Structure 1
């Protein structure tokens, strides 16, 4: 009990009853009765206050017990998620296991929970980000290319959100993962720039009506001399004559040369 409760429940009633006794001995009965009533009121108030204090203490202890159990459950979920993510393979991540890990970490979406568990579960936010990133990777069923990474803005952002200086329990997986995704994105950008440049060169050559100094109207004999060895030749005989398609690959593009009866008709 608090000091105030003790005073109200014990000290005040005793003191008031003592005063009432004095009034009673002096035959001042109204004052004695008043003192008795005041003593009873003080005792009742003190008792009620003491009851509320005891109730609050019981509730507090119960709340602390529940809080302790909840924290234990959260820690267990955190450790389970960490173990699952540790075993996830980048080459072919198991989508169901990743989803389960994300579900285990769901409670940590709450800022209050994350703050409460910051000491015991310091990597919760990083693990969630990594799990979400691996979830994106899993959608490619083990066949993710540089171009896939370049097109997947969500994956790029998740990888960027992983801290560069992370040194937690899964640092040996998360840091290489971040570097790999960024590397694949950069390679895809370089390839896209190169493809665009080659496409422009190809377009310009076609617009000039030539490719390797080959133009419509040239003899078919000039095709291999100008273009080199073809990757394949498709030939067919029609009512209109002998048609051939020469297929070449230059600057990352397929080039088609068409001839009819030994004469170049089109280059594209």
Structure 2
């Protein structure tokens, strides 16, 4: 009887924790990511970093409302205006998901259900951070485990399959879109070309509580940025920049509360260069 009781308890625990690890069966990636991986908007990217620090992956969510409460908290942190659209028996498939959510702003609240009709009590809430035809970044609470936050990324089809196949959420009941982002203080960086030194001088605003500043460079505004320096100063001179090529710079302040990003500054060193 003791062995049977132990077996029953074990099976019950497995059933309760079934969502744990399910993301692997859909070839998704689970875990935190930098805000800059989600969006090129430095304000939104900085806010996402702060959210991930305040509500860490796989940690207990101390706010109320479980999945709904977490989605609303993230949405309110990111945006000041929201507009909601409600649906009855709208099938949650890849096609419908992209029609309703492709290109939405970070902080959009998506409500799913098994019954087909909207309910603030029955169903599951997901907060969307980025949706394109090829990639979705999102987060939720009370799904991976009881009242614990989790961050994900995957293709739209993986996103849909994760909730439909795992828990039977077959319908989209609400899309509450974030319409206007909240303002957030970021680093202001400026660049000036110095033709005499064949270098580009960078200066930026100071952020209190910063452990260090990381300087990144690219030769394309939307290209890959490579870290070229780490400093505790609020200035840096790039002497290794390629001549006759426009260089783009970004600076990141490393903070325990979440990294803070900068605008993009650009300058070019030529034989006849003036500050841009």
TM-score for both structures, normalised by structure 1 = 0.21
Which protein is richer in helix relative to its size? 1
* Greater relative CO, 1 or 2 (CA 8 Å, sep 6+): 2
Query: Which structure's CA Rg is the greater one?
Result: 1
